[in-house]
Amino acid sequence: MPSSFASAPAVIAFDLDGTLVDTAPDLLDTLDLVLIEAGARPLPHEETRKMIGAGVRALVTRGLDAAGVTVDEARFAALEAMFLAHYADHIADRSRPFPGLVEALDELTARGHLLAVCTNKLEYLSKLLLTRLGLAERFAIIAGADTFPVKKPDAGHLLGTIAGAGGLAGRAVMVGDSMTDVLAAKNARVPVVVVPFGYTDIPAEELGGDAFITHFDRLPETVEHLLLAR
């Protein structure tokens, strides 16, 4: 492999919900209000937490299904709009970065890596959240569900994110918390680090990632090992 390729900056692409930030409190508070508006009781957050990760439309759909509520397309559109409006206003009320994240981002940047976000959250909500948390400027690109014609687990979402950050697919690592992230990485032939503090009904260590860490203090060295292995 040419030395210029090996020395090119690597792109470390992160999922957002459940990977960078614990967004469940604000997402699920908003879902509670939508369910009440739909005539249902809020569901236990232990149950709805596992519904996060595929975007707002999927979260609202899963919530309504679990509550046994059926609505027509017009009613669903109104409930989805209600969710988006309320959530945007309260997007960082209780959402916080996971422990060790900021220090890990600092270290990855110090090592010359490019940082990116590849999420199935809408782009404007992703940028709004990361801006409110003071994290947005750390990332070369924040690519949401509507940034490209496709979204995770389609390889095009991750590959587009890597290119948009100014990197190469052969010098990239994905970091995520769900099967959607693992599949996106595998489809793009990019190694993936799995973290256990996100939102999945499958134990994180069983998702089939190339590496598994329990705290972000392990991320910089894990990334280096994966890049060297390539």
Q: How many CB atoms lie within 10 A of CB 227?
A: 18
- What token pair was written down for 120? 């199935």
Compute the distance between CA of residue 70 and CA of residue 27 in angstroms, rounded to an integer: 21
Tell the burial category of 204 from Cβ atoms under 10 Å away from its Cβ (0-12, 13-18, 19+). buried
- What token pair was written down for 191? 């190694």
154 is catalytic: no
In single-letter form, the type of residue at position 78 comes to A
End-to-end CA distance of the chain: 10
Active site residue: 15, 17, 26, 181, which one? 15
Extended beta strands in 151-221, E state = 172-176, 192-194, 211-212
CB neighbours of 108 closer than 8 A, spacing ≥ 6?
Answer: 12, 115, 219, 220, 223
Cα→Cα distances 201→24, 54, 205, 225, Å: 14, 13, 12, 28
Catalytic sites, residue numbers: 15
